[in-house]
Amino acid sequence: MAITVRPLTDDDAEATQLLRHEAFGSPLSKKNTAQISKPPSYWLGAFDDDRQVGRAGVRDISSFWGGTELATAGVMSVTTAQEHRGRGVLSPLLLQALADARERGAVVATLFPTANAIYRRFGFELAAELTRVKVPTIELGTLTPPEGVTLGRATEDDVPALDDLYHRWAIQQNGPVNRTGPLYESKPAKRVKAHTGITVARIDGQVAAYASWNRGHGYGEGAELSVREFVSLSSLATQALLAMFGTNSPVLPHTVFRTSGDDGLRLVHPAATWHVVERFPYMVKVLNLRAALVPRVWPEGLDCELPFRVTDDSIDTITGDWKLRLEDGHATVTRIGRLGAHSKRLNPVEFSQRGLSLLFSGSQSMWNIVGAGLAAGGATNTYPTWSAAFGGRQNHIRDYF
C-alpha cells in the first residue's frame, strides 16, 4: 500500500466529511461540503490510490507562551479510515502537515488529542487541559458582593474593552490563543447575542472582569447555568460575579464553568467543591527551537549558560547540541552542532522531543521531566535554574478548535 499526501480541494469535501462523520460522529450536511480549504485553515488528505483514507487540518493562529505571542499551528480533526488504522497512514499525513505549517512560519504546534499516545511519538506532550466543572450554586450564594464593584450587562460598545481584558489576562499565561485574525473576527452585536448574557464587573469605571453565560432549560433538579467564559484580573471582581451567580440557587442547583488549570476563581470560590464533568487535554510541540525560545520574556536575575541536546525524530533542524544563554532577561540560543558536539565535561541535559515540548510549556519542573524519563543527564544543581527559566506562569486555555 503506497500512501500519498496532498492538499485537499473542494472536490474532496464530500469524502472528507464522511471521514469526519465516521471518526467523530459529526452530522452530515451539504453546507459542510463547500470551501474545504479556506485560509487560515489548511487541509491535507492521505490517499490509497484514489480513495481518501485520512485527513488532517491545521489552523494558522497564534498563542501566548512565556509572555510573548508565537505563531501556532492548531492541528485539528486528524482522521484515519477504520480499515486503514495502524497501516502507516498517520505518519506521512501529520509530518507533512507539521512541515507545511513550519514553512508558513509556525513556531509551535498544538492540538486536542483523543488519544495521547498517538501524538507523543511525534513529540507532542501535555501542556494544559480545558475542562467543564460543576459547583453547587448555593455555595456561591454564601459570598457577599464587595463594595466598589459594579455589575452590568455588556453591550456592543463594551466588546473592545472585553477583548483588551482577555489579551491582558492571556499574555500572563502559557497557552491561550491570541484572538486576532480572520478566525476571530465577528461583529460586536453577534458576539453579544451569542450568549444569554455577558456580565461585566467594573472597578472605578474600568473593566476588571467579565463572564459570558447561558441559561439552560427548566429549573429545579438537573437545571444549570453554563458560564462559557470567565476572565478576571481582580479578586473583588471575581467575588462580585460569583456572588451574582449565587442568586440563582433557588431555581438552578448547579453552575458549570468552562475553565482550565488552577483557575484563579478557585481562590475566591467559598467551598472545596469542584467537580470536573468534562475534560479536553491540550498538547504542544516545538517546531522551531530558536524562534520558540528567544522571544520569551525571561526572568530577570538569571545569568547562566545551559548546555543541552535534543533528539527529535520528526524535525532534523531541532536534533543536535544547543546552548541557552540567559542574561538580563534576554536569551541567546546557539546550535553547537550535531548530537555529541558538546564537550563531555559540559554534561548537557539530553531532551527527547517530548521532554523539550514539556519544558517549553512550563507545565512541569525539570525534576518531573527527568523523573518521567523525558530528559536525562546534566548537573542536578542546574535543574532549579531550568525550572525557574521556563516556569512562573500558569497554563490556561479557553478556546477549543
pLDDT digits (tens, 9 = 90+) for 95-142: 999 999 999 999 999 999 999 999 999 999 999 999 999 999 999 999
pLDDT at residue 31 in the model: 59
CA nearest neighbour of 268 among 313, 300, 238, 302: 238
Q: Global pTM?
A: 0.94
Q: Which residues contact 250 (CB under 8 A, 6 or more apart)?
A: none
**Alpha-carbon distance values, 255 to 138, 192, 249, 268 (Å):** 9, 21, 9, 15
Q: Is the pLDDT of residue 297 over 90?
A: yes
What is the bridge-based pairing of β-strands 51-65 and 68-80? antiparallel
Looking at the DSSP bridge assignments, the partners of residue 115 are none
d(CA 109, CA 339): 24
Q: Which residues contact 131 (CB under 8 A, 6 or more apart)?
A: 258, 259, 260, 276, 278, 279, 280
Summarised one tens digit per residue, pLDDT across range 238-289 is 999 999 999 999 999 999 999 998 899 999 999 889 999 999 999 999 999 9
CA nearest neighbour of 113 among 135, 147, 90, 136: 90
- CATH 3.40.630.30 domain extents, the chain: 3-111, 132-281
Q: Which of 25-39, 79-93, 326-340 has the lowest mean pLDDT?
A: 25-39
Question: What nine digits make up the cell of 265?
Answer: 476563581
Helix, strand, or coil here: 168? helix
Question: What nine digits make up the cell of 277?
Answer: 464533568
CATH code for the structural domain at 3-111: 3.40.630.30
| Fold classified for 132-281 | Aminopeptidase (3.40.630)
- CATH 3.30.1050.10 domain extents, the chain: 291-390
Helix, strand, or coil here: 156? helix
CA atoms 351, 261, 228, 116: torsion sign: positive
d(CA 366, CA 376): 10
Q: Which residues contact 246 (CB under 8 A, 6 or more apart)?
A: 137, 138, 139, 140, 141, 142, 143
Residue labelled with grid coordinates 532534523:
316
CATH code for the structural domain at 291-390: 3.30.1050.10
